Structure 1
């Protein structure tokens, strides 16, 4: 197949649907795989549809060198981390071959009804990564795994819809991506909000300037207490000496426990928008 791709340098769209190899991965060397990647500079979209773990897709993708504007789209059935990591090349395999992945500045993750999961990575104003599945079994670990598959050094904006009960995984991801400046959360519980508290020993998202919370089950007192720790200077702020960024903008959407008094108190320190 790679030989066929070599003969199609003007290829713009590549679909891989339920690809399987009949031999094992450790037998692949005997089939004469190209030592260098196949250059497909016109490739705009790679769409992978896979129902079960199969190393064949990862092998093919790791031997393709696409343009930076190419979008890698993966669709799987009942998914687990095993499927995701078996389909997507590791960062070492894909480095330089799908350069758009390293340009992701906005990551959008949505867990919808029935376990449907949708992920979109946007870089330079265009989609460069998409992942969709109807049932995802390991959602608490999706953020850490994504960060390990391909680091996102330019990530500035993160959107997470229905982010309940995954605070530890979320904190691990934030710790890996300290460039994030804006976060939008839907459905966050108190434990999730607590990770934004700045303490003498932990300061996740040191560049965070904008926070949007929607339908979050957080009390007014808890929200005020956590966010005041991110305001510099502030009564409960414990910013490290080398920190220069303070939370500047808060948007609250349909959070029933947030009172007008809490909003007024926060407005003394930052811009607050209610919708």
Structure 2
């Protein structure tokens, strides 16, 4: 097992893969995590992280806060759907089930449009810090 406390500064593709592998490995050891905050992540690292969360890494994750990241809105919607009670996510049978994502916070994520935010809000609470300044107004 890699040292989970070793600083990660991904620049190359290999470093990005290693960083994601280290982070996923670390998070696998803490299945009771309920909140994850991600800030200033490279888009490839963020994409890999969203895929890992879609595959139910951190099964009790209730809140995901993303700031200053370029992320694909449709991938975020896919994650939310995969972790949503409304979509019949596996194991999310009752309203008290904590394995369902309940909230997404977004700050300084210009690649996320108002349209994507509106879709996300069909599934869970979404907080966008300073919506007018932070959300792409084009779509």
Compute the TM-score of the two structures, normalised by the length of structure 1: 0.38
| Counterpart-to-counterpart distance in 1, 2:10 and 2:34 | 18
1:181–1:209 contact (8 Å) kept in structure 2: yes
Between the aligned partners of 2:66 and 2:54, the Cα distance in structure 1 is 15
Q: Which residue does 1:193 correspond to in 2?
A: 50
Deviations 1:21-56 (A, max 9, x none): xxxxxxxxxxxxxxxxxxxxxxxxxxxxxxxxxxxx
1:163–1:186 contact (8 Å) kept in structure 2: no
Q: Tell me if 1:257 matches 2:104.
A: no
Query: How many residues matched?
Result: 114
* Mapped pair 1:206 → 2:63: no
Tell me the distance in 1 between the aligned counterparts of 2:49 and 2:81.
16
Cα RMSD after superposing both structures? 2.6
Structure 2: tracts of 5 or more residues without a match: 130-139
Contact 2:85 2:93 in 1 (8 A): no
User: Where does structure 1 lack aligned partners over 5 or more consecutive residues?
Assistant: 1-140, 147-160
Shift of 1:193: 2.0
Aligned counterparts, 1:1-275, within 5 A = 141-143=2-4, 165=16, 166-188=19-41, 189-198=46-55, 203-234=56-87, 237=89, 239-240=90-91, 244=97, 245-275=99-129
Shift of the 178–267 alpha-carbon distance from structure 1 to 2, 3 Å rule, reads same
- Larger radius of gyration between Structure 1 and Structure 2: 1
Q: Is the 8 A contact 1:220 1:257 kept in 2?
A: yes
TM normalised by structure 2 equals 0.71
Task: Judging by fraction of residues, say which structure has more strand.
Answer: 1
